[in-house]
Protein backbone atom coordinates (compact mmCIF):
# COMPACT_ATOMS: atom_id res chain seq x y z
CA UNK A 1 0.00 0.00 0.00
CA UNK A 2 2.81 2.41 0.84
CA UNK A 3 5.64 3.56 -1.38
CA UNK A 4 9.01 1.91 -0.97
CA UNK A 5 11.19 3.38 1.79
CA UNK A 6 13.99 4.50 -0.48
CA UNK A 7 11.94 6.96 -2.64
CA UNK A 8 10.31 8.33 0.52
CA UNK A 9 13.76 8.98 2.07
CA UNK A 10 14.93 10.63 -1.16
CA UNK A 11 11.88 12.92 -1.17
CA UNK A 12 12.55 13.90 2.44
CA UNK A 13 16.22 14.63 1.66
CA UNK A 14 15.27 16.73 -1.39
CA UNK A 15 12.69 18.65 0.64
CA UNK A 16 15.27 19.35 3.38
CA UNK A 17 17.78 20.56 0.76
CA UNK A 18 15.17 22.78 -0.91
CA UNK A 19 14.22 24.35 2.43
CA UNK A 20 17.86 24.96 3.32
CA UNK A 21 18.52 26.62 -0.03
CA UNK A 22 15.36 28.70 0.29
CA UNK A 23 16.45 29.88 3.74
CA UNK A 24 19.90 30.83 2.45
CA UNK A 25 18.39 32.65 -0.53
CA UNK A 26 16.00 34.65 1.65
CA UNK A 27 18.82 35.59 4.01
CA UNK A 28 21.00 36.77 1.11
CA UNK A 29 18.14 38.77 -0.40
CA UNK A 30 17.19 40.60 2.80
CA UNK A 31 20.58 41.40 4.29
CA UNK A 32 22.10 44.83 3.60
CA UNK A 33 24.59 44.68 0.73
CA UNK A 34 28.16 45.42 1.76
CA UNK A 35 27.08 47.72 4.57
CA UNK A 36 30.56 49.13 5.30
CA UNK A 37 30.95 50.08 1.62
CA UNK A 38 27.75 52.16 1.50
CA UNK A 39 29.76 55.35 1.98
CA UNK A 40 31.37 54.79 -1.44
CA UNK A 41 27.92 54.55 -3.06
CA UNK A 42 26.94 57.77 -1.26
CA UNK A 43 30.08 59.64 -2.27
CA UNK A 44 30.16 58.65 -5.96
CA UNK A 45 27.21 60.74 -7.21
CA UNK A 46 28.43 63.74 -5.23
CA UNK A 47 31.82 63.53 -6.95
CA UNK A 48 30.12 63.11 -10.34
CA UNK A 49 28.04 66.24 -9.69
CA UNK A 50 31.27 68.20 -9.20
CA UNK A 51 32.67 67.05 -12.55
CA UNK A 52 35.38 64.78 -11.17
CA UNK A 53 37.24 62.92 -13.93
CA UNK A 54 39.85 61.11 -11.84
CA UNK A 55 39.79 59.76 -8.30
CA UNK A 56 43.00 59.08 -6.39
CA UNK A 57 42.15 56.41 -3.82
CA UNK A 58 43.20 53.06 -2.49
CA UNK A 59 39.79 51.53 -3.24
CA UNK A 60 38.34 51.84 -6.74
CA UNK A 61 34.70 52.00 -5.60
CA UNK A 62 34.62 55.79 -5.24
CA UNK A 63 35.77 56.18 -8.85
CA UNK A 64 33.37 53.51 -10.05
CA UNK A 65 30.31 55.15 -8.47
CA UNK A 66 31.46 58.58 -9.69
CA UNK A 67 31.90 57.32 -13.26
CA UNK A 68 35.51 58.51 -13.12
CA UNK A 69 38.92 57.05 -13.79
CA UNK A 70 40.57 55.36 -10.79
CA UNK A 71 44.14 56.39 -9.97
CA UNK A 72 45.35 53.84 -7.42
CA UNK A 73 47.54 54.94 -4.55
CA UNK A 74 49.46 51.73 -5.23
CA UNK A 75 51.26 53.81 -7.87
CA UNK A 76 53.07 55.44 -4.93
CA UNK A 77 55.80 53.79 -2.88
CA UNK A 78 54.37 52.33 0.35
CA UNK A 79 56.03 55.00 2.49
CA UNK A 80 54.18 57.75 0.58
CA UNK A 81 50.65 56.30 0.47
CA UNK A 82 49.61 58.41 3.48
CA UNK A 83 51.71 61.43 2.53
CA UNK A 84 49.44 64.39 1.74
CA UNK A 85 51.85 66.08 -0.67
CA UNK A 86 52.43 62.85 -2.63
CA UNK A 87 48.67 62.20 -2.92
CA UNK A 88 48.06 65.79 -4.02
CA UNK A 89 50.88 65.65 -6.58
CA UNK A 90 49.49 62.38 -7.95
CA UNK A 91 46.03 63.93 -8.29
CA UNK A 92 47.37 67.05 -10.01
CA UNK A 93 49.36 64.93 -12.50
CA UNK A 94 46.24 63.00 -13.40
CA UNK A 95 43.99 66.00 -14.08
CA UNK A 96 43.65 66.85 -17.75
CA UNK A 97 40.69 69.17 -18.24
CA UNK A 98 38.38 68.09 -15.48
CA UNK A 99 38.49 67.99 -11.73
CA UNK A 100 40.20 65.33 -9.64
CA UNK A 101 39.49 64.06 -6.17
CA UNK A 102 41.59 62.50 -3.45
CA UNK A 103 39.56 60.07 -1.32
CA UNK A 104 40.92 59.12 2.11
CA UNK A 105 39.48 56.49 4.45
CA UNK A 106 39.45 58.15 7.86
CA UNK A 107 38.58 55.11 9.99
CA UNK A 108 41.95 55.10 11.74
CA UNK A 109 44.51 57.58 13.05
CA UNK A 110 46.67 57.40 9.90
CA UNK A 111 43.68 58.26 7.71
CA UNK A 112 42.60 61.13 9.95
CA UNK A 113 46.16 62.51 9.96
CA UNK A 114 46.34 62.27 6.16
CA UNK A 115 43.01 64.06 5.81
CA UNK A 116 44.08 66.85 8.17
CA UNK A 117 47.40 67.26 6.33
CA UNK A 118 45.61 67.40 2.96
CA UNK A 119 43.21 70.03 4.30
CA UNK A 120 46.07 72.16 5.60
CA UNK A 121 48.06 71.82 2.38
CA UNK A 122 45.07 72.65 0.19
CA UNK A 123 44.11 75.62 2.34
CA UNK A 124 47.63 77.02 1.94
CA UNK A 125 47.78 76.43 -1.82
CA UNK A 126 44.21 76.59 -3.15
CA UNK A 127 42.10 78.29 -0.51
CA UNK A 128 39.63 77.29 2.18
CA UNK A 129 36.83 76.27 -0.23
CA UNK A 130 38.99 73.50 -1.72
CA UNK A 131 40.33 72.47 1.68
CA UNK A 132 36.88 71.50 2.98
CA UNK A 133 36.33 67.79 2.23
CA UNK A 134 33.13 66.10 1.15
CA UNK A 135 32.38 63.71 3.98
CA UNK A 136 30.70 60.33 3.78
CA UNK A 137 29.79 59.09 7.22
CA UNK A 138 27.27 56.77 8.78
CA UNK A 139 26.75 53.97 11.22
CA UNK A 140 28.82 50.89 10.43
CA UNK A 141 30.31 52.27 7.18
CA UNK A 142 33.78 53.39 6.19
CA UNK A 143 34.24 57.07 7.00
CA UNK A 144 35.53 58.89 3.91
CA UNK A 145 36.87 62.36 3.16
CA UNK A 146 37.08 63.47 -0.46
CA UNK A 147 39.00 66.56 -1.50
CA UNK A 148 37.97 67.86 -4.93
CA UNK A 149 40.63 69.73 -6.88
CA UNK A 150 39.32 72.12 -9.51
CA UNK A 151 40.24 71.66 -13.18
CA UNK A 152 43.78 72.66 -14.07
CA UNK A 153 42.75 74.92 -16.95
CA UNK A 154 41.48 74.99 -20.51
Kindly report the three-state secondary structure assignment for every residue of the chain.
Answer: CCCCHHHHHHHHHHHHHHHHHHHHHHHHHHCCCCHHHHHHHHHHHHHHHCCEEEEEECCCHHHHHHCCEEEEHHHCCHHHCCCHHHHHHHHHHHCCCCEEEEEEECCCHHHHHHHHHHHHHHHHHCCHHHHCCEEECCCCCCCEEEEEECCCCC
Tell me if 43 sits within 8 A of 65, measured CB to CB: yes
pLDDT of residue 45: 92
* Tally of CA atoms within 13 A in the half-sphere of 122 that contains its CB: 25
Q: Is the pLDDT of residue 118 over 90?
A: yes
Q: Is the pLDDT of residue 14 over 60?
A: yes
Please state, for a pLDDT cut of 70, what percent of the chain lies above it: 87
What pLDDT digit, counting tens, does each position of 30-68 carry? Answer: 665 556 678 888 899 999 999 898 999 988 999 999 999
Q: Provide the whole-model pTM.
A: 0.72
Mean pLDDT across the stretch 57-86?
90
Confidence class of residue 154 from pLDDT cuts 50, 70 and 90? very low
pLDDT of residue 99: 80
Amino acid sequence: VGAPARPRAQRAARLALALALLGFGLHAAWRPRHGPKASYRDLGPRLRARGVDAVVAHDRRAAHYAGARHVPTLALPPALRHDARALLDLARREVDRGAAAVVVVVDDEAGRATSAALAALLEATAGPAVARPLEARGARVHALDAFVLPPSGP
